[in-house]
Amino acid sequence: MGVIGVSAPAGGPVTRGFRRVLVYLRQSRDRIVEFARQPVVSFQRRVEELPFDYPPSVIITVDLALLIVAIAAAVQRHSYFPTALPIFAVLLTSAFGPMYAFLGVMPRPVTLGLFAMAAEALFLAQPVSPDLAPFILVAAAGEVSAIAPKRISVPTAVAMMVELVVFEANGHLQGLPSYLVSVAFGWMAGVMLQYQRRFLYQERGFQNIRAAQAADEERRRIAREVHDVIAHSLSITLLHLTAARRALQTDREVDEAVDALTEAEQLGRQAMADIRRTVGLLDARPSKQAPEPGVEDIAGLVGDFVRAGLDVRYVCPDDLRAVSPAVGLALYRIGQESLANVVKHAPGASASVRVAVDAAAVTLTVDNTLPAGVPAQPGKGMGISGMTQRAELLGGRLLAGQHDGGWSVRASIPLAPVRGGFACTSWPGVPHGGASTTREAL
């Protein structure tokens, strides 16, 4: 028959308290050993671990100021030596640094105030005139108000003032009004530091919000760019493929089909390059980017659609040098999206593109007919909304809808004063000033 053993209790409150003391002593020993090996690194680490959210330089500066004032007040009392009261006062003033560094005792606001008042009492027990000792309370009041709420810092500052009044009444202090005002100003300086820290956190929060909004806007912009590039490239590629298929089916024109397929292949490669460049905007690393298209490139854009088989006419009677690059890019993308929509939603339609510049704005108009059976309804994609956003971001407006039995997109954007630029050009086969070239769809 087995024997059942009963374990003794782990220990009572005295044993548990003794164990906690041993753990505390072991941690203190480790702190001292670490400080002995790497004093600078250990000290910086201890300061950074403080929960006051101030830079280590600020905390070190305040502690050094307290120590310097305490040493100066002790030197003023050299006639009282060999009494040790000034030395005890200096040790009390600077006690929290070693206590936290070696023993892990966290400095509390109330304890800081009590230690400063105790050191002040030791100093004022041996009066001198003039006396630097009251400035210990000035620095301590600022330190307490910088890390504690007003319900703690105000009573602490008042208690410091009362202490000075008591010693002045006993004839141990002269110049009381200036010292009281100094303590009040020390408290106000600490409160200002606390407000500054609070406002700094608020500003960091606002910056995070603005950064998130900027990131969202950048993602939307890249999405519009990718949409425009893909829509344009696929529309023209499909036109070439349709032309090649019809050439093989109807006329058995192999050479014409090969030409159309070659154009489609080139446009596909160009589309892939454009997509890589646009998606590359997501990369934070700096890289050399190709120049963005502008208003002068609309002629080449129309030429791509014409060579793909779209019956489209380009008219540009004005000088384009007043159009800024940002406005030119927006107009190019709007024209690109409009022509892609013609290919997608109105196959077999004819279209016209017109760019007009006056003293106040530049206007892009894309009109197209509607073949029989094609509904004149806007799609549910992001085409029109993306074009509208492009125009509105530059202070312009965009109108899209039915017009004279067809569909019309009209974008008007105010001009920005710029120097340089390009004159109105045209793609090969379309003379400048409004002449047009058409190509029947195969």
247 secondary structure, DSSP code: I
Confidence at residue 434, expressed as pLDDT on a 0 to 100 scale:
39
Question: Per-residue pLDDT tens for 87-133?
Answer: 998 888 887 766 666 666 677 888 888 989 999 999 999 989 888 99
DSSP letter for 282, please: G
Residue 302: CB atoms within 10 A of its CB come to 28
Task: Look at residue 179 in the predicted model and tell me its pLDDT.
Answer: 92
Other Cβ atoms within 10 Å of 233 Cβ, number? 22
Sheet with 311-315, strands from edge to edge, namely 311-315, 350-357, 361-368, 406-414, 397-403
**Range with the lowest mean pLDDT among 235-239, 375-379, 393-397?**
375-379
Least confident of 25-39, 131-145, 349-363: 25-39
Q: Based on the number of CB atoms within 10 Å of its own CB, is 306 exposed (0-12), middle (13-18) or buried (19 or more)? A: buried
Listed range (66-80, 183-197, 414-428) with the worst mean pLDDT = 414-428
Tell me the pLDDT band of 366, cut-offs 50, 70 and 90. Answer: very high
Alpha-carbon span 250 to 229, nearest angstrom = 32
Dist CA 133 CA 73 (whole Å): 5
CA torsion sign, 194 to 199 to 200 to 204? positive
How many angstroms separate the CA atoms of 138 and 3, rounded?
72
Angle separating helix axes 176-246 and 298-307, nearest 10 degrees: 30
The mean pLDDT value for 220-246 works out to: 69
Strand 397-403 versus strand 406-414 pairing type: antiparallel
More confident residue, 117 or 57: 117
DSSP string, 286-354: ----PPPP-GGGHHHHHHHHHHTT-EEEEE--S--TTS-HHHHHHHHHHHHHHHHHHHHHSTT-EEEEE
Number of neighbours of residue 355 by Cβ within 10 angstroms? 23
Q: What is the pLDDT of residues 402-437, one digit of tens each?
A: 888 889 999 999 986 544 444 454 444 444 443 333
If pLDDT is split at 50, 70 and 90, which confidence band does 441 have?
very low
Q: Nearest Cα to 190, choosing from 149, 250, 151?
A: 149
DSSP character at residue 285: S
Which of 133-142, 292-301, 366-375 is least confident?
Answer: 366-375
Residues of the chain with pLDDT > 90, as a percent, come to 19
Query: Do 170 and 125 form a contact (C-beta atoms < 8 A)?
Result: no
Question: For residue 134, what pLDDT is reported?
Answer: 92
Condensed to tens digits (0 to 9), the pLDDT of residues 133-189 reads 999 999 899 989 988 889 999 999 999 999 999 999 998 888 899 999 999 999 999
Using CA atoms, how far apart are residues 278 and 230, in angstroms rounded to an integer? Answer: 11
How confident is the model at residue 420, as a pLDDT?
A: 44
C-beta atoms surrounding 277 within 10 Å: 15
Report yes or no: 243 and 219 within 8 Å, Cβ to Cβ: no
> Going by C-beta distance under 8 Å and a sequence separation of 6 or more, which residues neighbour residue 332?
293, 294, 295, 297, 298, 301
The pLDDT of 183-196, averaged and rounded, is 91
> What ranges do the domains of the chain cover?
13-207, 295-442
CATH number for the region 295-442 comes to: 3.30.565.10
Tell me the average pLDDT of the chain: 77
Strand partners, 399: 410
Nearest to 322 by CA among 193, 413, 392, 250: 413
Its pTM surpasses 0.85: no
